[in-house]
Amino acid sequence: MPQRHRYLKFLARMRRQKRKLWLSNSGDWQWLVSKPTPMASLNRLLWRESVPSLSFFVMLTLSGVIATLGLLAGSTATVIGAMIIAPLMGPIIGIAYAIAVSNRRLMKRAGMTLLWGTLVTVLSSALIAGLIGLQILNDEILLRTEPTLIDLMVAMAAGAAGAFAKSRKHVADAFPGVAISVALVPPLSVMGIGLAQLDPEVFSGSTLLFATNLTGIIFSGILVFLWQRYGNLARAQGGILLSTLTMVLIGIPLGFSLNNLLVQANSRERVDRLIRNELPLSDRALLQNVDLHQDRGLLKVTLDFQAPPHTITAVDVQQSQIFLEEQLEQPIDLTLRVILIEEFSVPSTP
């Protein structure tokens, strides 16, 4: 008993020291310490943002149009602007909150709003892309067709930030930044572009990115709301298990994508070094660009050289392929493109 008494006194003293340290650090700033938004107020706010109103669909449609035009034009600034005005984050956070507090009515309302909003954005983007008729796939579009685990981690961080911003009035101004940090409308617009161009790879890749963002936001949003003591773990257990299972299923292809990205980065560095320093062909031509990508386990390499006419022959290309396969120890599909250099000179006249 005496030992237990001393232990309890030690814990009490540590609590007093901790409070004293907190008060000395915060001082007169204690009035700035925020408290969570009352549950009734937060419930009304998320219900209001989950209503499929006319303003919701107008802003979402305009956001999809702006994002589609920005993607086709390759304008990052335009795409960011579309993310800012898109109201799609509201019902997604509403779903996370509804799961945390086990509110089935709100979950149904927010889910239906999200579903109709998704369809409207994809169809409006497909209509705009079809009317313009540009059959292009630039970097802005392709970047949203190959999601990795990094995108899932970004979505989780953004979902946590969004849920916390909703639960704290003084950080609500950060909510537009959350919408920028995670792409919601751009992948939907890319889905519309893929639909207009009848490109299944673009459509499926952007669909996976949107599903990744949606799952990550909802999962982390649930955890933040539970941490802020909205709802309880026992009632939200089913939703958490479903979200976790979905994340695991989505994480499998994302893991493969990340692995391919790392392999491409390492291969690009090695190929670039080998070509510039050891490939005999580099003595007669100037390397302009190296492009690599994996296709079903086969590394496809495209090299752009600048050289005078008749400098590079088919034998050189074959020898280069053999050299790269031996050095990288894997099969390679090599494409070599030559940019011709023609030199003209005019002697000076006396």
One-letter-per-residue 3-state SS of 14-75: HHHHHHHHHHHHHHHHHHHCCCCCCHHHHHHHHHHHCCCCHHHHHHHHHHHHHHHHHHHHCC
The answer to whether position 30 is within a domain reads: no
Final residue before a domain boundary, out of 231, 253, 281: 231
| Same domain as 80, residue 143 | yes
pLDDT, tens digit, 9 for 90 and up, residues 268-302: 777 777 777 766 666 677 778 878 777 666 778 88
Distance CA(3)–CA(6), nearest Å, equals 5
Distance CA(339)–CA(332), nearest Å, equals 22
Q: In this predicted structure, what is the pLDDT of residue 116?
A: 94
CATH number for the domain harbouring residue 284? 3.30.300.20
The answer to whether position 304 is within a domain reads: yes
The answer to whether position 138 is within a domain reads: yes
| Same domain as 220, residue 133 | yes
Distance CA(221)–CA(232), nearest Å, equals 14
The answer to whether position 103 is within a domain reads: yes
Containing structural domain, residue 71:
39-231
| Same domain as 227, residue 281 | no
| Same domain as 211, residue 75 | yes
Q: In this predicted structure, what is the pLDDT of residue 303?
A: 83
| Same domain as 268, residue 227 | no
Domain count, the chain: 2
Q: Which residues contact 85 (CB under 8 A, 6 or more apart)?
A: 59, 62, 63, 66
| Same domain as 227, residue 269 | no
Closest to 67 in 3D by CA, of 187, 201, 204, 205: 187
The answer to whether position 250 is within a domain reads: no
The whole-chain average pLDDT of the chain stands at 83
Q: Tokens representing 19?
A: 């409070």
SS3 242: helix
Q: In this predicted structure, what is the pLDDT of residue 175?
A: 61
Is the model's pLDDT at 222 over the cut of 90?
yes
The answer to whether position 314 is within a domain reads: yes
| Same domain as 302, residue 219 | no
| Same domain as 273, residue 218 | no
| Same domain as 317, residue 202 | no
The answer to whether position 94 is within a domain reads: yes
The answer to whether position 246 is within a domain reads: no
| Same domain as 297, residue 206 | no
Strand order through the sheet with 332-340? 286-295, 298-307, 332-340
